[in-house]
Structure 1
């Protein structure tokens, strides 16, 4: 993990992990609310799922994403992809629920403020994903250059 990733991964990872742990004991009303939001946004996936099972699935998913962000051995590309996917799914709820936005369909209503902030999760996830991909590309180029130099040295007579 690159040191510049630590603040982003700590802040988002701790927040998401805590959110997941708190959902493990969700009561029936909370489970129904969470399930209702997901089922109306992603009916193909969640419409037929029981609310309590959905709440557990969401809790375990958040725990997995939070843990991936906090674990230093998880590559930035993996942690970034997980955060981007998670944030994007939350933004789907935001954009597909009319009461969450003002009449322009973009700016948050008072009710949508809590989900509008999830755009930052997508930005953070894309940052980690990009850093991971660029870092991998850089190290691939460096190792390729080193291999090429070794091959040239071996092939050059008199060395």
Structure 2
């Protein structure tokens, strides 16, 4: 409860002051002091960025099945790991396969998940993958717009992402 102690230590002098109610500036100063002294830890992994190579999402004409394929290059010196999985449209769903989430795909030491989001409106959807190295407990979140993935073309250029440590 370090933050609580800091907040109390910062507020007590304010309560003893001649002003019966702390001013907004007093409260702001107290809160900024508390947050600047709170402990923090960087979750960035001490390893180079990983590159997703030859990313491709190829959906059938009816958009009921999408095949994903790519390579994961973690720059460790080992050969890039090939990854491929298929996502089918859920029975009865109005969402096509290209907008269907999937998870639990094993690619060597990696476990991959994929989610689609349409937060930016019609025609601006994107997919975000989670790529976890189960041995090192590092993760990246590669993101691709629907426009990048359209037509089953390989995304160029390859994209790199800084890995994060999972506690």
Output the TM-score relative to the length of structure 2: 0.21
Question: Larger strand proportion, structure 1 or 2?
Answer: 2
Considering only CA atoms, is the larger Rg found in Structure 1 or Structure 2? 2
